[in-house]
Amino acid sequence: MAANDDAGRGPVSRGGIAQQPLFAVAAVLLGSFLANFDSRLTTVGLPDLRGAFSLSFDEGAWLSTAGIGSQIFIAPAVAWLATAFGLRRVLGIPSLVYAVVSLIIPFVHDYPMLMVLSVVHGLLLGTFVPATLMIVFRNLPIRWWLPAIALYSIRVGFAFDTSSSLVGFYVDHLGWQWLYWQGVVIAPLMGLMVYLGTPSEPVNRDLLREADWGGMLLLGASVGMIYAGLDQGNRLDWLESGTVMALLAGGGVLFVGFLINEALVRRPWAHVNVLFSRNIGLSLVVILLYTLTSLSNSSLVPNFLATVGLLRPEQSGLLLLTYGALPMFVLVPISIWLLRHFDTRTVVVLGFACFAAANLWGTQLTHDWAREDFIGIVLLLAIGQSLTLLPLIVTALSNSDPSRATAFAAYIQIMRLGGAEIGVALMGTWLRVREQVHSLYLGQNLTVGDADVVRMLKQLADHFAAHGAGSAPARAVGTLASFVQREANVLAYIDGFWLCFWLAIAALGLIALITRAPPGPFTPAPFGFAKTVLRKCGVPVT
């Protein structure tokens, strides 16, 4: 990295630089990983939770929506809350309450109470990731920034790649309750690391007097309602559901109210003019495209293995753990080294190129593909995850205005959490619609009396005749119908890979429009031959 005037010390918070940066890094690690693991575990383990709580399919769906929607509600405001109240108060106390709620939930069998606790659980969980990121910039020396942000950035891919295996381990060996009880162990430990790794800060009463509470509530409620509408839209058939339309329309109206509020209040909390910078706006859009492109790893591969390959989460999770999560221990240090010596845009291009290659590979999918056939795709996706989100965050931070840090953090959290969850909901709808379209087209080619259809039905009926001649024709028709559905699913997943491929290409196009960031703590330092050339040209190089 380029030399800095502060000799490696970061911007001082009101309490000062942390005296124990290792504890601060540990807090970042525990907080960010706990948030993503918890959300992912409850999503993957939802069928087990429905059985454990005796919930219907609809009740289980709303349970998941309530937990994640409440995270989206609180996340944009966390940076401001941490600035006003201090990191210790925003992370320390909620971590203890979170542990208590996580301990209680498995014992609750009343559905309304379960929903209330899930909302509280989500609100507390939503504070962890935004607040832990602030620890990096307010309490760590500059030399710690890239490694700490790297831990923050890989948490998404690491959680995606290990959650399926972890759910299987909990359910099969420890009990489904540990989907919640892991927080009982990790959250207090995170709170302790925060206490040891961050200085004590007084409450900023001047900031509280100018608080834009209305803006925070309007933005959080609007994005939370929009997420809930999108999440339930696939299940309730979108425009055919009054509930979905009410959520989407209500969220849209509240967001318009938020924009009006920010234009009228004396000290707006998250005015949209923070997005008017070319590089900032493009970086946020590319972050959104990253969350959508990475759905090939979080959604397409494991869901194909479950739907077509008929594998349980722990079986497909072994693939993601071995070839997706573990390689990150090698790839992340490489990513940090690249960012120290190369422009962030170059590293992002490499990452999205890996995403594009992996998704293009996935378009060759057939129903014969087994778990091992995805090894190359998962490896490419792991490289893409390691080389994409970290430099994107660094690019956005390098172009941001420190005086608007809380506003910028609010929109980062919307893109980070809202974009990912909304992307999952939209991908589910895309796969469902494409499966229906392909089923229709395939069914049109299976006409009654067609020679190939008659021959296939006869072969299947002869196969089933040994188990009962009377039921053989019906079983043959059912089997042929299952073949059609299987192939329709395969074609739908191919369409999903094509969608992610073109999203990666779109991201590469937008990266070309991002200009070089101004000099700062993340400016790369050339090395080797490049350094020699610059010195000969009279350019000072450290």
pLDDT for 539 beyond 60: no
Across 394-405, average pLDDT: 76
CB atoms within 10 A of CB 92: 20
What does the DSSP 8-state code read for residue 1? -
Across 400-413, average pLDDT: 71
Residue (of 318, 502, 499, 397) closest to 153 by Cα position: 397
Across 431-436, average pLDDT: 90
Q: What is the pLDDT of residue 424?
A: 78
pLDDT for 468 beyond 80: no
Q: Give the Cα separation of 27 and 18 in Å (integer).
A: 12
- Measure Cα distances from 13 to 7, 29, 232, 529, 531 in Å: 17, 20, 41, 39, 35
Q: Give the Cα separation of 227 and 117 in Å (integer).
A: 19
Q: Give the Cα separation of 57 and 47 in Å (integer).
A: 9
pTM: 0.80
pLDDT in tens, 132-141: 667 777 777 7
pLDDT for 9 beyond 50: no
Q: Give the Cα separation of 326 and 379 in Å (integer).
A: 10
H/E segment holding residue 13: none
Task: Judge whether 156 and 51 are in contact, CB under 8 Å.
Answer: no
Q: What is the pLDDT of residue 10?
A: 36
Task: Judge whether 87 and 95 are in contact, CB under 8 Å.
Answer: no
pLDDT in tens, 216-251: 999 999 999 998 998 888 788 888 889 999 999 999
* pLDDT greater at residue 493 or residue 160: 493
Q: For every residue of 472-503, which 3-state class applies, written as one string?
A: HHHHHHHHHHHHHHHHHHHHHHHHHHHHHHHH
- The amino acid present at 427, given as its one-letter code, is M
Task: Judge whether 171 and 315 are in contact, CB under 8 Å.
Answer: no
Task: Judge whether 260 and 212 are in contact, CB under 8 Å.
Answer: no
CB atoms within 10 A of CB 405: 19
pLDDT for 509 beyond 90: yes
Q: Give the Cα separation of 496 and 324 in Å (integer).
A: 20
Across 163-183, average pLDDT: 81
Q: What is the pLDDT of residue 528?
A: 57
Per cent of the chain over pLDDT 90 is: 21
pLDDT in tens, 16-40: 444 566 777 777 778 777 777 777 6
* pLDDT greater at residue 216 or residue 412: 216
Contacts of residue 152, defined as CB under 8 A and 6 or more positions apart, other chains included, come to 28, 32, 129, 132, 133, 136, 393
pLDDT in tens, 70-128: 988 988 888 888 888 888 888 888 889 999 999 999 999 889 999 999 999 989 988 88
- Measure Cα distances from 484 to 64, 96, 304, 471 in Å: 31, 52, 16, 20
Give Cα 366 distance to the centre of its chain.
Answer: 27
Task: Judge whether 490 and 308 are in contact, CB under 8 Å.
Answer: yes
Q: How many residues in total does the chain contain?
A: 542
Q: Return the CA Rg of the chain.
A: 25
pLDDT in tens, 302-319: 889 888 888 877 777 788
Residue 23 is encoded by which pair of tokens? Answer: 């504890």
pLDDT for 376 beyond 70: yes
- The amino acid present at 421, given as its one-letter code, is E
Can you spell out the DSSP letters for 9-27?
-----TT-S-S-HHHHHHH
